[in-house]
Amino acid sequence: MSASSSGLFSRLVWLLIGTICLVLLVGMFALRVTTNGAAVNYSGRVLAMQVAAADALIAEGRSDGDLAAIGVDHRATPPPANDARLPLIHRVLAELQARLPGRRVMASGRREPVLWVSAAAPATGWLGIPFFDLRMPLVRSTVLTVGLSTLLVLLIAAAYARSLTHPLKRLADAASAVVAGAPPPELPTGAVRELVELNAALAMAAADVRRNARERDVMLAAISHDLRTPLARLRLGLELSSTSFDASVREGMVADIEALDALSAQFIAFVRDGGEEASDTVDVTCLLRDLVALNDAAGGRWQIDAPSPASIQGKPLALRRALDNLMRNAMHHGEPPFQATLRDVHGELRCSIADAGPGVPETLISRLGEPFMRGNEARSDAVGNGLGLASTRRIAAQHGGRLVLRNLPLGGFEATLVLPLRPAH
């Protein structure tokens, strides 16, 4: 575990602290923008122009209605002055006083402040100009600044939160493979301490699964291999003592010995799943045609529909064993005619083996491919033990593919070995 890894809680706390600080900085920046010299100068200049226009109208003897038309309220006495809360108003009053020397300037109202300027002599009274209209451009700029800054804060927070959740998403995506014994994915640099610890625990658990599976396979292979020697001696003893047994008894014993020998062979084939075999270019069409010819010679009635050629990168002996398992499974448990079909579908090579038998109960299809699981548990005469489909499924997974099993709509059963045309990187 990296020494620099920090906890999830501490990172969330720092995220909140950073967000709050950034919001405060943005607010201070917006406030400074609205009260800077340029804004104050602009407000003072506009107010001075309105006062000059009002002075000109008063000098011409215009009525108060004409003054109201330009946004100026002419009164004999202004409302009581008060201390404005906004620093901006104080600075604008100072700017306006500097532009109108010799005239009195004050403000009234808090929620909607009005700036009052004494009328130029010989006129009397006060000229009131609402400061609200002058604030609107500043308010709009402030709102825009705060809005854009808030969006920036949200984007930064989202990116930071994603850096916390992305490693967890990678672990979740790899969970099914880890349960099967695959090592967990590498976490990005700087992942939180809890996820680093979880990743290490998953790696240890996956290693245990692989070790237990290998020990089981070695045990199965050893038992199966050791069984074949006494079975061979029993077979030889039967051959040498053929006159000591009734013919029917002898044939039954030979059949039992062959069944045990076949079971031992299936155990060994299950263990030797091709994991140590080197990859090479495999012409699946040629491989399928060879197996069809071989099984036809054994008495099957096969039809084949395959393009030529259809090559992939794979393990030749393992793929041959996988397809042979599917074909023998069809002949043992199905009925002719048997169909072998090879198709290129959306970048995948699909090799389907179908028969016209009764199929498999729908409740069992999802479990087919598990070791020692057969499609018809009631068939006591069946030599198979479910390892053929289990071995085929393992070989498919080694090649980045899968095994699809289904009952055909018009009757029969179909097993499809799906293989990618390009190896996964």
In the chain, domain spans: 8-34+140-173, 37-130, 174-271, 274-420
Query: Does pTM top 0.75 for this prediction?
Result: no
Residues 6+ apart with CB under 8 A from 312: 281, 282, 284, 349, 399, 419, 420, 421, 423
3-state SS, the chain, equals CCCCCCCHHHHHHHHHHHHHHHHHHHHHHHHHHHCCHHHHHHHHHHHHHHHHHHHHHHHCCCCHHHHHHCCCEEECCCCCCCCCCCHHHHHHHHHHHHHCCCCCEEEECCCCCEEEEECCCCCCCEEEEECHHHHHHHHHHHHHHHHHHHHHHHHHHHHHHHHHHHHHHHHHHCHHHHHCCCCCCCCCCCCCHHHHHHHHHHHHHHHHHHHHHHHHHHHHHHHHHHHHHHHHHHHHHHHHCHHHCCHHHHHHHHHHHHHHHHHHHHHHHHHCCCCCCCCEEEEHHHHHHHHHHHHHHCCCCEEEECCCCCEEEECHHHHHHHHHHHHHHHHHHCCCCEEEEEEEECCEEEEEEEECCCCCCHHHHCCECECCCCCCCCCCCCCCCCHHHHHHHHHHHHCCCEEEEEECCCCCEEEEEEEECCCCC
Q: What is the pLDDT of residue 203?
A: 85
241 versus 36: which is more confidently predicted?
Answer: 241
CA distances from 378 to 215, 266, 373, 382 (A): 31, 20, 12, 9
CATH of 274-420, picked from 2.102.10.10, 3.30.300.30, 3.40.50.970, 3.30.565.10, is 3.30.565.10
Instruction: Evaluate if residue 394 carries a pLDDT over 70.
Output: yes
Strand order in the sheet with 105-108: 73-75, 126-130, 114-118, 105-108
Q: Residue holding tokens 């090592």? A: 183
106-139 pLDDT per residue, tens = 888 777 788 889 988 888 889 988 876 555 555 6
60-88 pLDDT per residue, tens = 888 888 888 888 888 888 888 776 566 77
Instruction: Evaluate if residue 48 carries a pLDDT over 80.
Output: yes
Mean residue pLDDT of the chain comes to 77
Q: Cα torsion at 152, 157, 159, 162 (round to 10°)?
A: -160
Instruction: Evaluate if residue 352 carries a pLDDT over 90.
Output: yes
How far does Cα 60 stand from its chain's mean position?
77
Q: What does the longest C-alpha to C-alpha distance in the chain come to?
A: 150
The CATH-assigned architecture of domain 174-271 is Orthogonal Bundle (1.10)
147-202 pLDDT per residue, tens = 777 777 777 777 777 777 778 788 888 887 777 778 888 887 777 777 788 888 88
Q: What is the pLDDT of residue 176?
A: 76
314-327 pLDDT per residue, tens = 888 889 888 988 99
Q: What is the pLDDT of residue 393?
A: 86
